[in-house]
């Protein structure tokens, strides 16, 4: 028996995903209406008109990779699997269970009815005191299951909840007619990660202050601190309260990689495997961002991504992997989406988090020792002008140093944790000083040095 899932964008049928249970193989076919109406392709690996010589194995792997990237990770994935009595490895079953609201615009049903056409039920109120109780209950009670139903269907490891904010009141979406507008992130349960909401808020506000395109974020207290992040893949129309879903894909989907290749060294950095760098890398991103057939505008996409890469080093974010960058997608091609999940991992000194970059600068994975040679090698391999790298590095480092005092004040005004603000601020200052000390040398290093 095969499982067939209809894939929708609002009321439009995008196509059908089929799981052949005998061969454990996926296939995805666009609907005729979608292709004729000029719909967007899901990703570069799943084009509207596939090459004739593409093998079923290749296509099956591409389809699996794309759809697997929509699933949550960590405990939310465990909960999803156990709630629905599905194995964690059963992608089709999980998509069916979680498919009402994924990242971007796609929805999944097992029948032919568009999810939007079903009857209207009101969204479910989410009061602060209930949220507070659920935040406290997390060690023994899953944060993503509410009223016996799983509420989360976006990627990532941290506890989070997708909510609909209407006139300042929070709701949980009850049916496919409702879309969430914000993501709530409480403090992680792990006490070693205490201050994470402040850490992320500081980095997000700093990014906005230095003019990176970044999702809006603020800190709320219920009374536990909750980071409230505006979804950039949702467009809210105030008079009607209608929320339009915008399609976007993450970096793994752009590169056609499976979830576990979100790091450049997919097998880790042990001595025998550290040289296998087949995962997502800065160079692979720049190659695709330079492709005029894929991108709406290659220049802004490359500049935006370069600034994203530099900013991760300046804040000491070692977890800037390929699922922490996204791209808007429509029939006019792809464009870089706002930044999100900006965290200074180097400031989490008690938590034993990795001090190894998700994607290297040149060949260097150590965020504290990224110097001129590494930036120059990155520019060379990625075919970007070293002069541009040097000027953006200088400019972003100077702006971060200038904006830090005001950001510290803003975070404290929002009730942020004073110790964590100082830690993030110390890391950013050190990283910016290192960057400024080497920026002038980047253009001196020529291709003969590599």
Ligand X SMILES: Nc1ncnc2c1ncn2[C@@H]1O[C@H](COP(=O)(O)OP(=O)(O)OP(=O)(O)O)[C@@H](O)[C@H]1O
Which C-beta is closer to ligand X: that of 42 or that of 229?
Answer: 229
* Binder among 62, 101, 187, 233 for ligand X (CB under 6 A): 233
Q: Is 347 in the site for ligand X (CB under 6 A)?
A: no
Is residue 170 helix, strand or coil?
Answer: strand
Q: 364 forms bridges with which residues in the sheet?
A: 361
Q: Is 251 in the site for Mg ion (CB under 5 A)?
A: no
Taking CB under 5 A as the criterion, which residues in 169-188 touch Mg ion? none
Q: Could you tell me if 265 and 277 are in contact, meaning their C-beta atoms sit under 8 angstroms apart?
A: yes
The window from 46-54, 92-100, 196-204, 317-325 that contacts Mg ion (CB under 5 A) reads 317-325
Q: Is 382 in the site for ligand X (CB under 6 A)?
A: no
Burial of 242 (0-12, 13-18, 19+ CB in 10 A): exposed
Name the minimum Å distance from CB 245 to Mg ion.
19
Q: 26 forms bridges with which residues in the sheet?
A: 19
Q: Could you tell me if 227 and 368 are in contact, meaning their C-beta atoms sit under 8 angstroms apart?
A: no
* Nearest by Cα to 397 from 302, 303, 311: 311
β-pairing, 182-186 vs 169-172, is unpaired
Name the minimum Å distance from CB 159 to ligand X.
8
Tokens of 286: 């720049």
219 interface partner picked from Mg ion, ligand X, none, CB below 5 to 8 A per type:
none
Name the minimum Å distance from CB 249 to Mg ion.
14
d(C-alpha 432, C-alpha 393), whole Å: 9
Centre a 10 Å sphere on the Cβ of residue 60 and count the other Cβ atoms it contains. 19
* Binder among 145, 146, 157, 266 for ligand X (CB under 6 A): 157
Which C-beta is closer to ligand X: that of 215 or that of 222?
Answer: 215
Q: Is 245 in the site for ligand X (CB under 6 A)?
A: no
Q: Could you tell me if 207 and 190 are in contact, meaning their C-beta atoms sit under 8 angstroms apart?
A: no
* Binder among 6, 59, 151, 231 for ligand X (CB under 6 A): 231
340 interface partner picked from ligand X, Mg ion, none, CB below 5 to 8 A per type:
ligand X
Cα angle value 343/344/348 (rounded, 5°): 110
Which C-beta is closer to ligand X: that of 18 or that of 427?
Answer: 427
Number of residues that bind ligand X (CB under 6 A): 22
* Nearest by Cα to 40 from 301, 294, 307, 244: 294
Q: Report phi then psi at 438, rounded to 5.
A: -115, -10
Which C-beta is closer to ligand X: that of 19 or that of 178?
Answer: 178
Q: Could you tell me if 173 and 179 are in contact, meaning their C-beta atoms sit under 8 angstroms apart?
A: yes
* Binder among 68, 158, 181, 403 for ligand X (CB under 6 A): 158
d(C-alpha 46, C-alpha 57), whole Å: 13
Taking CB under 5 A as the criterion, which residues in 319-378 touch Mg ion? 324, 341
d(C-alpha 245, C-alpha 121), whole Å: 19
Name the minimum Å distance from CB 56 to ligand X.
29
Q: Using CB under 6 A as the criterion, what x/- string covers residues 39-78 for binding ligand X?
A: ----------------------------------x-----
* Binder among 126, 155, 207, 439 for ligand X (CB under 6 A): 155
Q: Please, how many CA atoms are within 13 Å of residue 170, restricted to the half-sphere of its CB?
A: 19
Is residue 230 helix, strand or coil?
Answer: strand
Q: Is 253 in the site for Mg ion (CB under 5 A)?
A: no
* Nearest by Cα to 392 from 437, 439, 324, 344: 439
d(C-alpha 96, C-alpha 100), whole Å: 8
Q: Is 8 in the site for ligand X (CB under 6 A)?
A: no
* Binder among 341, 345, 374, 417 for ligand X (CB under 6 A): 341
Is residue 118 helix, strand or coil?
Answer: coil
Name the minimum Å distance from CB 131 to ligand X.
18
Q: Is 154 in the site for ligand X (CB under 6 A)?
A: yes
262 interface partner picked from ligand X, Mg ion, none, CB below 5 to 8 A per type:
none
236 interface partner picked from Mg ion, ligand X, none, CB below 5 to 8 A per type:
none
Query: Where on the chain is the footprint of Mg ion (CB under 5 A)?
Result: 156, 324, 341
Query: Where on the chain is the footprint of ligand X (CB under 6 A)?
Result: 73, 103, 154-158, 160, 183, 215, 229-233, 250, 319, 323-324, 326, 340-341
């Amino acid at each position: 028996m095969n499982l067939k899932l209809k894939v929708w964008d609002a009321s439009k049928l995008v196509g059908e995903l089929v799981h052949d249970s005998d061969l454990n193989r996926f296939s995805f076919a666009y609907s005729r209406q979608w292709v004729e109406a000029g719909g967007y392709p899901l990703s570069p690996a799943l084009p509207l008109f596939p090459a004739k010589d593409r093998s079923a194995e290749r296509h099956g792997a591409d389809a699996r990779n794309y759809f697997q990237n929509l699933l949550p990770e960590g405990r939310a994935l465990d909960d999803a699997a156990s709630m629905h009595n599905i194995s964690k490895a059963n992608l089709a079953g999980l998509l069916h269970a979680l498919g009402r609201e994924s990242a971007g615009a796609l929805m999944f049903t097992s029948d032919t009815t568009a999810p939007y056409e079903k009857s209207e039920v009101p969204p479910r109120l989410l009061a602060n005191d209930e949220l507070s109780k659920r935040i406290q209950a997390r060690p023994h009670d899953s944060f993503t299951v509410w009223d016996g139903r799983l509420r989360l269907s976006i990627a990532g490891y941290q506890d989070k909840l997708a909510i609909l904010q209407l006139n300042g009141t929070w709701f949980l979406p009850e049916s496919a007619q409702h879309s969430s507008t914000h993501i709530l992130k409480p403090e992680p349960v792990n006490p070693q990660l205490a201050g994470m909401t402040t850490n992320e808020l500081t980095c997000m506000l700093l990014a906005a202050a230095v003019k990176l395109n970044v999702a809006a974020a603020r800190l709320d207290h219920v009374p536990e601190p909750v980071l409230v992040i505006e979804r950039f893949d949702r467009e809210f129309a105030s008079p009607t309260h209608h929320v339009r879903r915008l399609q976007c894909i993450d970096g793994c989907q752009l590169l056609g990689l499976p979830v576990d290749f979100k790091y450049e060294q997919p097998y880790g950095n042990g001595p025998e495997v550290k040289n296998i760098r087949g995962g997502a890398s800065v160079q692979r991103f720049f190659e695709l961002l330079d492709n005029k057939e894929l991108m709406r505008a290659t220049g802004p996409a490359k500049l935006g991504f370069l600034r994203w890469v530099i900013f991760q080093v300046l804040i000491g974010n070692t977890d800037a992997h390929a699922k922490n960058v996204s791209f808007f997608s429509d029939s006019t091609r792809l464009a870089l989406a706002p930044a999100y999940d900006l965290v200074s991992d180097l400031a989490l000194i008690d938590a034993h988090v990795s001090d190894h970059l998700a994607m290297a600068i040149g060949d260097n994975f150590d965020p504290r020792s990224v110097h001129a040679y590494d930036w120059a090698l990155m520019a060379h391999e990625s075919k970007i002008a070293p002069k541009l790298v040097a000027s953006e590095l200088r400019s972003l480092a100077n702006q971060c140093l200038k904006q830090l005092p005001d950001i510290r004040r803003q975070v404290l005004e929002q009730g942020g944790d004073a110790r964590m603000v100082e830690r993030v601020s110390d890391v950013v200052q050190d990283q910016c000083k290192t960057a400024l000390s080497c920026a002038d040398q980047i253009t001196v290093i020529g291709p003969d040095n590599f």
